A and B are shown apart, each in its own frame.
Chain A
Amino acid sequence: MSEQTVMIQNEEDTLLSRFPKVVRKDERKGYEGYVVEANALTDFARTLRDELGYDYLSSVTGVDYLPQGQMEVVYHAYKTTGGPALVFKVQVPRDNPVVPSLVPIYPGADFQEREAWDLLGIKFEGHPNLKRILLWEGFHGHPLRKDWREPYFEAEHKPYKSRFPEGKVFRAEERNPFGKNVDYPAGFDPAQWTPDNTNALIYEGLGRVEKASDDLPTEQIVVNLGPQHPSTHGVFRMVVTLDGETVVDLEPVMGYLHRNHEKIGERNTWLMNMPFTDRLDYLSPMSNNFGYALAVEKLLGVKPPERAEYIRVIMAELTRIQNHIFAIGMFLNDMGAYFTPSLYAIEERELILDVFEAVAGSRMMVNYFRFGGVARDIPEDVMKKIHDLAFERLPRRIDELDRYLTNSEIVRVRGEGVGVLTPEQAIAYSAAGPVLRASGVPYDVRRAEPYSIYDRFDFDVAVRYHGDVYDRYLIRMDEVRQSIRIIQQALQQIPEGPIMSGKPQYQHRVPAGESYGRVEGPKGELGFYVVSTGKGNPWRYHVRAPSFINLTALAEMTKGQKVADTVIILGSIDIVLGETDR
């Protein structure tokens, strides 16, 4: 037995002996982890965090097991020193799903529990602010429940029978006319509805608040930044309570771009979801493909051939480079350097997108990965272009960007010491990716739990220690350099050979079970939690979206800062609303 298996065995013994009767192993076929009784959850989580070192709660989500009449909450916890996940679940009756909240132990569960409440109707007892997060208050029902149906409902699963062989064409819009497709809860009238106290300030837009302390006879003021504000990178709102110019509190309001990606995913077949993942974080589609492919491949038990593995790594790292330089460019925009730096970044990004276009067929909506390989091989001339980029152009241009920005007094003065997140806070708030690593936590999924062939490459996990906005800028520079290193090695090692294992197929028999595939996306840990019942469609399809979860720490970072800095603090997290709102 290896050291790790011994350790896991010890953990298991500890947990099972410490919590007899209330904790048991999940024995369902294809499932892993522990099932915990709801009343023991808080103690169990505390033991995990304080005694076993699982200090990072990565993912919280719910699954509606309608036939069993159960709601299940699934937690994935990690050690920030690396290693596999510890999965634990709570099962509660479907008609009254109440689970104790883990926010007091893992503050990072905040938004994710709110999301589970919003979409699945699971109540988290003890949550400080349990209200809808992606949908609005006048929404009827919890859409991810299996018995919830959209206003225009055709069938439970795709493909729809109406398409073939008697395909009478119709426009969904005609059957689902605008204005008549909204369903309100009983007794709800949107014209009469007034938000309750806490929300009133948000909806008023600009409110005045009585101040608690009275050193100066001033009032606090509530300002809405967004939803349509150039600094919010999309339709996103920050409700900021200000005392003078200082931020007292901040609440992110999101969901304007919500389309219930997960419900769509559960209607889709396994393969159909691939192009939909492109549309999550549309700045890094290859990473999204990667995460989803890994999750489903784990269930299918297939492994891509060598060449496909290398192509995947090259594509994922190119994605990281273009995402990071674009993030840097846009971050400088937020700082007020209007578009000159971002155009410098876009120039390089364009070249990488040209590669994607030539290989996958589209610049952003790549739809390139398949279960057990990739869709197409890289043509000879494109390989040469990648070679030129990785060995010649990109290193030179990164150095130029470095000369241009890194020591600029403006960037430093505005960035240093602003929006600080300590390592303890970063871990507690489940921050991921550059946000976590800039706070001095060297946690990178590519190293912590290597997937694909990342264990073959020589690269450093970039880490910075101040946790401020400036370090989040620096760490992206560092990571671009490391990605270039990985691509250089991959280009030298890539073998010839097939790019698909087995024959390409569009109907997949996915064995029943659960699986969690995670990759280190450019924004942070991107996870896909899928549950299969052995049918042609996923029973549950959940995305652990780093853009969304990284926002949990936004309030903490902005408190005590000036209002002008909220803009660059948000910019330094690097969110994409397509992923945040899903």
Chain B
Amino acid sequence: MDGSGILKGLGVTIKRLIATYVDDFKRGKARYRTDEGIAYRSSAEVQGIFTIQYPDEKLPVPEEFRFVPFLVGEEQEDGTLDPRCTACGICTKVCPAQCIWIVRSKDPKTGRPRPKPAEFYIDIDMCMNCGLCAEYCPFDSIKMDHNYELATYDRKADNIFDLQKLLKPVSYYAQIRPENYKREEEARRKAEEAKRKAAEARAKAAAARAAKAKAKAQQAKKE
């Protein structure tokens, strides 16, 4: 108990303090308010100050980051978005907070259900951002967003997102989750190819059968 422990501890803090200035000096302006500087300050190599001055600076979010779901819509020629959603209701069933409401649309003539949502609501006050809806959606139509700045003045009016507010184009999805998008498109392409091949094979077989039948008929005619 001679105070050497405290001195040693103070040494650590002083070293850190000096390291901060040395690092500032070494990296100069590149350290703050640049993408490179932000990446450095959130890496495992960082020395000195590591804080990010939000909202002046923002941490880039990783691809898997999730915050409030959105619906993926295919861009139509007339500029509207057609939701991929088929109103199967799986997301409403896995949602732990039960914050998703879907009204399935009906064919106006026959009154039979159609695979499209007529209305789609998410109460984002209740949403716990768990991402289960996106994980279990078989049509890649509900995905988790990256936008975490959702403050509003009137939570009662603004925080129930309807179809209008939830729909975002596929290109947006491809931009925030490039890896996932690539993987899903690849899988879809493969599935479609397999389907096409199967159809081709079926057509081929049918054609072969038809040719055989024709030949047989001709044979019968000849005889």
Contact = CB atoms under 8 A, between A and B. Distances in A.
Interface of A: 158-160, 162-169, 171-172, 268-269, 271-276, 340, 344, 347, 350-351, 354, 357-362, 365, 367, 375-376, 379, 385, 388-389, 392-393, 400, 403-413, 504, 506-507
Contact of A163 (B11, B96, B101, B128): B101
22 contacts: A162-B101, A164-B93, A164-B102, A167-B100, A168-B101, A168-B103, A169-B160, A272-B95, A272-B96, A275-B128, A276-B96, A347-B50, A350-B50, A351-B42, A351-B44, A358-B64, A361-B144, A400-B12, A403-B8, A404-B12, A407-B4, A412-B5
B176 interface: no
B93 A159 contact: yes
A408 B126 contact: no
B13 A404 contact: yes
Given A388-B44, A504-B135, A504-B136, A365 B128 contact: yes
Contacts of A340: 13
Given A164-B102, A404-B12, 8 more contacts: A164-B92, A164-B93, A165-B113, A344-B16, A358-B63, A361-B131, A379-B179, A404-B13
A157 to B, nearest CB: 11
B136 A171 contact: no
Contacts of A367: 130-132
A272 B95 CA distance: 7
Contacts, number: 145
Chain B contact surface mostly: mixed
A158 B42 CA distance: 40
Contact of B12 (A160, A165, A393, A403): A403
B92 A365 contact: no
Contacts of A506: 90, 93-94, 132, 136
Nearest to B42: A354
Interface string B104-144: 10000000010000010101011011111001100000001
Contact of B100 (A163, A347, A404): A163
Given A362-B66, A389-B44, A165 B1 contact: no
Q: Which 7 A-B pairs have the closest CB atoms?
A: A167-B101, A275-B130, A407-B5, A272-B96, A164-B89, A358-B62, A165-B104
Contacts of A168: 101, 103
A165 B102 contact: yes
B94 A167 contact: no
Between A165, A166, A506, the greatest number of chain B beta carbons within 10 A of the residue's beta carbon is seen for A165
Contacts of A389: 44
Nearest to A163: B92
Interface string B153-184: 00010001000000000000000000100000
Contacts of B130: 274-275, 365, 367
B65 interface: yes
A167 B65 contact: no
Contacts of B93: 159, 163-164, 506-507
B158 to A, nearest CB: 12
B46 to A, nearest CB: 8
B151 interface: no
Interface in B21-68: 42, 44, 46, 50, 61-66
Contacts of A272: 94-96, 132
Nearest to B8: A403
B61 to A, nearest CB: 7
A159 B136 contact: no
B101 A169 contact: yes
A376 B64 CA distance: 9
A357 B156 CA distance: 30
B3 interface: yes
B98 interface: yes
B98 A360 contact: no
A393 B43 CA distance: 11
Nearest to A410: B6
A325 to B, nearest CB: 15
A272 B102 CA distance: 19
A241 B9 CA distance: 36
B131 to A, nearest CB: 6
Nearest to A367: B130
A160 B131 CA distance: 19
Contacts of B1: 409, 412-413
B87 interface: yes
A392 B100 contact: no
A509 to B, nearest CB: 15
Contacts of A365: 128-130
B182 to A, nearest CB: 13
B44 A393 contact: yes
Contact of A385 (B11, B44, B90, B113): B44
A405 to B, nearest CB: 7
A375 B66 CA distance: 14
A403 to B, nearest CB: 6
A340 B136 CA distance: 44
Contact of B98 (A158, A271, A350, A385): A158
A45 B60 CA distance: 57
